[in-house]
Structure formats: C-alpha cells, structure tokens
Chains A and B, each alone.
Chain A
Amino acid sequence: MSGGWEHLLLNTLALAGLALALALPLALGTAVYLHLFARTRVLRRLLRLGLQLLAAVPSVLIGLLGFWLLVVRLGLGWSLLSGGLTLGIMLLPGLAATTEAALAEVPAGQREASLALGADVAQTLRHVDLPAALPGMLAGVVLAVARAVGETAVVLLTVGTAWGPQGLGGERLLEPGRTLAVELYLLATEGGSAAATWRCALLLVGVGVVATVLTRLLGSRRSA
C-alpha cells in the first residue's frame, strides 16, 4: 500500500479527465444540434431514442465495446487511454441529456431578443444560451465525474488491474493501471488490509456525496 496511494488517485483522475475530454464535445454538439437544428420531429425523436438506448446499455457492455475496439482492434492494449475513451462513451448519453435539458430551460424570450437585435444563431448560442445553461451543464459534469470515478466493470475490461507505473509522463497513458474502484474490488474480494479497504470505500462514497451536494448547489436535481 505504501507509496502507491497517490497513483491510484492519479489514475482515477486521469481516466475521468480523458472521459470528459471525449464525452463533453460530443455531448455538447449533440445537445446543441437537438436544441437548435433538429427541426423535423422524426430526426429529433430518433436521436433522442438513440441516446436513451445508449444510456440504458449496461456499463459492462460499454466496457466490452472498449475492450474489443480499443484494446484489441486498435491495439491500444489495456491502458489508461483505452479506459478513458471507453468511459467517455459511457458518460456521453447522460451528459447530452443534462446539457439539452439545461439548454431547454433558457427562457425563449432571451434568445429571441438576441436574435431580434441582429445576432446570428452562433453568437446567440455563445453569449445567451450557453452562459444561461452553464449551471445545469456543470451539474451534469459533476455527476458524470462521480460516475467515472466509481465505475469498475469498464475499467477492469479496458485498463486492467496492474499495479501501474509511477510518475506522470505522457507515455503513461498507454500503460495499464489500477484505479481506486478497482483497488477496492481487489481488496474486498482477495482480502486485503481492512484499513485500506475501508479507506477506498469511504473515499468513493465521499466523492458521490460531494457530487450530490454540488449538484444541489448548482440548482438542479439528478435526472434519473
């Protein structure tokens, strides 16, 4: 346990960061497209249905996709990069849904006023819609980070369980590693020191509680 503690945290944070880096642009693009441009009913319903289905896919299957596509086919191996990208796919539908909901709550009058003043849609998005929707979007991001931190099945399938490399170089991203959640799984099932096990469990619960309170402060509820 000694000395490795920090790198469990570091791996966990790296995965969450990578996942957001993939999921945020995609989710934002999807939400904006749904909000502003998907004008026909059929297209909107189809896109929404797809997102709902993707959100309902068990995370272990998303893990399987990451394993098949990234670890094996693209040859990234069990690595932080594979895991981060796979987690990104897992987070995508939830983030898109919270972002779209936040955009939908912006009063239409504000948008119309901006358009009436001669701003184009892109300017209105940047200066009116997005600033007003920011708290709701942040709440979605906070929940997404909490999910990424606690996810275990996906990480087992795409990052492995290796007591990963120390240090912080960029090449670390292509090496396998172990996250806090996986450490808890191994400690609990293979019998590790009780103190270490409890420390992991409490940290993971703590992340969830902090995320819940933060979302509440940002003024929105988890959409179930």
Chain B
Amino acid sequence: MRRDQLLRQVTGLLALCAALALLLLLGMLLAESRPLLGHEAPLGLWRAVWAPSQGVYGLGGLLLGSVLTVGLGLLVAALPGIWLGAWLAELAPTAAGVLVRLAVDALATVPGVVLGFAGLWLLAPLIRTHLGGPGLSLLAGALVLAVAMLPTVVTLTEAALRAQPRAWRDGALALGATRRLALATVLLPAARPRLRGVLALALGRGVGETMALVMVTGNAVALPHSPLDSVRTLTGNLVLEMAYATGVHRSALFVSGLLLLLVTGLCLLVAGAWREEGAA
C-alpha cells in the first residue's frame, strides 16, 4: 500500500501544478495592471479613446469592438447552429448525420489563422465591392466569427437536446405529433435554458478569438459608425501591441487582458447557471 500512497502524492502534486497555472495567470494580470490603475482614475479606463502615443488608455472602444463583433457574429451563427444541432439530434438519417457531424468536427479544428485568411481572401473583397467601405470591417469579423462559433453551437445544441428525457419526445409522438412537430413544440421549448447556456458558451469562445479577427477587422482604433467600418478588438489589440509596449502602455495591455478574462469568465459562469437551470 506504500506504493498507492506514493501514487496519490505524486498525482496530487501534478494536479496542484495544473491548478497553479490559473493562479499564476490571475496573479500576473493583477500585478502588472497596478501601474496603470495607480496612474488612471478608474472612470478614465472606460473612455473610448485608445491612444498610447498620447498616454490615453481608454478601453471602452476596444471592449465595444469586441462586443459588437462577437454579438453580430452570434446573431448570424445562432439560428443556423441551433437548427443544424436540432436536425442532428432528432431528424437526420443515420448516414447523413454521421457525415455532417464529421464535417462539423472538422470545421471545429480549422485554426483561426486559416479562417482569417479565408476572410481576407474571399469575404473582405466581396464586402468592399458590393457593400462599400474598406472591406476589412466589423461585418467581415462577425461573419468569420460566426463560422468559428458554428461548430460549438451545433455540437452543444445536439448534446443539450439529447440530454432531455426520452419520455417527452415519446409522449409527443404517441399523441400523434410528427418528429418535426415534437421538436418545435416540446423539445426545443423545453431546452430553452440550456440553449441560452450554449449561446453564452459560444459568446465566451468568440470573445477570445484572436487571429481571425486581427486579420479581417482592419484594427482601426476609431469607433465604428456602421458594420462596414473597421474595428479593433481587445484580443487584437493585445497581440498587435504587446511585443513593443513598455511602461504604462504595457500595463494598460495587461489591464485589457484582465478585462478580457473577466468577460470570458462571466460568459462561462452565466452559461453554467443556465445549463443547471435546464438540468433541474
């Protein structure tokens, strides 16, 4: 039994190291944020102007850029994603279901940088010629993000529907409903809290997406007046400026990282609460 004791201690230590990574991240963000938080009045952080060369570090515009892009992207991805997930869970013929799932899983492995390249090569020129503006825009970012979030929405929607008691569907079918009708009137309405949770999780993922957005949003710091204008997101700003930032500018980037962590953490918590409500 001494060997079991040893195994327990070694694996416990490894688990502790894993947990440490999270604490390290939080500690870094807090410690490196201090210089700016001392230098700025808290309200100043929410200004929309990000101009490091003039010592102005307002995160409002970047946050707005992230929120608008991800929100619009989710708006585009939500309906097709939920529809496809529901189709996979209830209506798909076996062979077609297998193929579509394979395609969705493969789409989920496509790296952000490849999605960004596709947006740059296909989407931006289309937007520029048919809708106007510079092409590299909020709209391009949202559409690329919609593709990035689609697999998450599809897979989790299917899982959410499958997690519901079989008796609900069987009952509806026994009452004479078609599968389609049972889906529309019983299964989807009953899954509403879970589906909200699915969308919140997708939102959290979208906010963290970096490369695809850096490549297609144009990254202008000015506030967008229309979806055809360029935007800069929190993640994009970090990856563009971190390598050369110093002093207060560098600290401001860590503050934006803290904000990013808060936003994604919030999405995860909200998603968890909604999914538990759905399971109850």
Contact = CB atoms under 8 A, between A and B. Distances in A.
Does A pair with B?
Answer: yes
Contacts of A34: 15
Interface string B176-201: 00000000000000000000000000
A166 B75 CA distance: 47
Interface in B111-125: 111-114, 116-118, 120-121
Contacts of B25: 54, 57, 61-62, 65
Given A33-B14, A50-B19, A150-B109, A157 B242 contact: yes
A197 interface: yes
A32 B257 contact: no
Nearest to B118: A201
Interface in A11-30: 25-30
Contacts of B7: 32, 36, 121-122, 125
A26 B257 contact: no
Contacts of B260: 58, 60-61
B18 A201 contact: no
B10 interface: yes
A150 B117 contact: no
Interface in A27-61: 27-30, 32-34, 36-38, 47, 50-54, 56-61
Contacts of B211: 152-153, 185
B106 to A, nearest CB: 4
B11 A208 contact: no
B272 to A, nearest CB: 8
A32 B11 CA distance: 7
Contact of A150 (B29, B111, B254): B111
| SS class, residues of chain B in contact with chain A | helix
B276 to A, nearest CB: 13
A173 interface: no
Contact of B14 (A30, A67, A68, A120): A30
Contacts of B4: 120-122
A146 B3 CA distance: 36
Contacts of A27: 18
B13 interface: yes
B3 A52 contact: no
B151 A224 contact: yes
Contact of A64 (B12, B22, B238): B238
Contacts of A69: 24, 28
B137 interface: no
A56 B265 contact: yes
B239 interface: yes
A212 interface: yes
B114 A204 contact: yes
Contacts of B279: none
A120 B18 contact: no
B279 to A, nearest CB: 15
A96 B19 CA distance: 11
Contacts of B159: 224
A57 B102 contact: no
A120 B3 contact: yes
B69 interface: no
Interface string B134-175: 000000000000000001100110010000000000000000
A209 B109 CA distance: 7
Nearest to B13: A29
A65 B28 contact: yes
A111 B29 CA distance: 44
Those 9 A-B pairs whose CB atoms lie nearest each other, nearest first:
A29-B14, A150-B111, A58-B208, A208-B109, A33-B11, A224-B155, A153-B210, A30-B15, A152-B113
Interface of A: 25-30, 32-34, 36-38, 47, 50-54, 56-65, 67-69, 89, 92-93, 96, 120-123, 125, 143, 146-147, 149-153, 156-157, 160, 181-182, 184-185, 188-189, 197, 201, 204-205, 207-209, 211-213, 215-216, 221-222, 224
Interface of B: 1, 3-4, 6-8, 10-15, 17-19, 21-22, 24-25, 28-29, 32, 101-102, 105-106, 108-114, 116-118, 120-121, 151-152, 155-156, 159, 204, 207-211, 215, 235, 238-239, 242-243, 254, 257, 260-261, 264-265, 267-268
23 contacts: A29-B11, A29-B18, A30-B14, A33-B8, A37-B8, A37-B11, A56-B264, A56-B267, A60-B208, A93-B18, A122-B3, A143-B109, A151-B111, A152-B112, A181-B111, A182-B113, A188-B120, A188-B215, A201-B114, A204-B113, A208-B111, A222-B105, A222-B108
